[in-house]
Amino acid sequence: MRFDVACTPAPLTAFPSGPGELWFEVGFGGGEHALALAGANPGIGLIACEVFEQGLCSLLARLVPEGGEAETPLPGNLRLWDDDARDLLRHMPDASVSRLFLMFPDPWPKSRHAKRRFVHPALLPELARVVKPGGIWRIASDDPTYQAWVGEVLAGQSLFDVPPPAATRPEGWPPTRYEAKALAAGRAPLYWEVTRRG
């Protein structure tokens, strides 16, 4: 169920389900958000990216219970990418992604690590190329440093329409374990839903 890089020129061909549009999640963590998206939206193809083995194992354990490997059908509308999401996005065709998700990413809080943040001025033109006009990019973070960074980066660009972030998870956004941890610790997440300009 790994995304076949040979399908990059026509990424929907990687899905036997014949989806009508492509969604893309960056850093799926434990996988609960990706699985909820795939389950609630059978007509889409979702590429879910995660570089950490623990996250990949967590998602696969949810999909395939121990001892049920032979009988468990895998979702036809879900493909995994176990490498840097940015590298894969750079190979995607123009205007190929309808929805992009970045849920509670590593904030890389030290200023010398800012270049590693997915929300970055240098990456925005590439994201704007890949996300189709009218496409949605959802971002959530509970880290005050990252929240300020996202606000600053999005305020300094003209490729996406950026309404103010929501202070509570909007309807239709599946919860994540990172959100639950943040709320339990008293941190206040923010939720952005930005739209690619035409």
Decide: 101 and 23 in contact? Cβ < 8 Å: yes
3-state helix vs strand vs coil in the chain, percent to 5: 35, 25, 45
* Sign of the four-CA dihedral 170, 137, 104, 16: positive
Catalytic residue among 82, 84, 94, 106: 106
94 is catalytic: no
Rounded CA-CA distance 176/179 in Å is 5
Beta-strand relationship, 160-161 and 21-26: unpaired
Query: What positions carry a catalytic annotation?
Result: 106
